[in-house]
Each structure stands twice: as C-alpha cells, then as structure tokens.
Structure 1
C-alpha cells in the first residue's frame, strides 16, 4: 500500500510542512518500489527530510 503525505508525520516529526510530507511520501514509495523493504523505505525517506531541513 503506498504511503500518502498524511502518513509522514507519524514516521518523522521533522516532516512538519505539507511540502516535506509530500517529499517523504514520494521518497518512501520510490524506495519501497525499488527495494520491497518497508523499513528501508521509511529510513530513506526520513533521511531525505532531515537533509532538507539541514539545508535550510
């Protein structure tokens, strides 16, 4: 089941804006499709969101 932007905040509180939540869902779904591993997909999405915040 693909993740939606609304799911992001329950996995990382850093995704506190709509754009970060959409980015999280996009990365998580792409990683899941590529690897088939939900845990890895969540970790990758969390890392991307954290990097986005560090760049601000």
Structure 2
C-alpha cells in the first residue's frame, strides 16, 4: 500500500513542511516498488529527509 504525504510525520518528525512530506512519500513509495520491503522504504525516506533537514539554512 503506497504512503501519502500525510503519513510522513508519523514516521519522521523532520518532515515538517508540505514539500518534505511529499518528498518523503515519493521516496518511500519508489523504494517500496523497487524492493518490496516496507521497512527499507521507510528507512531510506527518513534518511533522505534527515539529510535535507540538516542541510537546510536555519533562521
């Protein structure tokens, strides 16, 4: 079952903007389609969002 952007915050608190939530869902769904592994899909999406959150300018 594919994930929606609304489900992103349940899996990572760093997906705190609509853009990051959409990106999280896109990455998770693409990984799920590629591997069939839900756990891996969530981990990969979380890792990308965490990396982007660390790089984002603060202010």
TM-score w.r.t. length of structure 2: 0.92
Structure 2 equivalent of residue 28 of structure 1: 28
Equivalent in the alignment of 1:9 = 9
Residue 37 of structure 1: CA displacement? 0.1
CA distance in 2, matches of 1:30, 1:54: 23
- TM-score for the superposition, normalised by structure 1: 0.97
Larger radius of gyration: 2
Unpaired runs of at least 5, structure 1: none
Q: RMSD of the alignment, in Å? A: 0.5
Q: Flag as ranges the 4+ runs of structure 1 deviating above 3 A.
A: none
Unmatched runs of 5 consecutive residues or more in structure 2: none
Q: Count matched residues.
A: 56
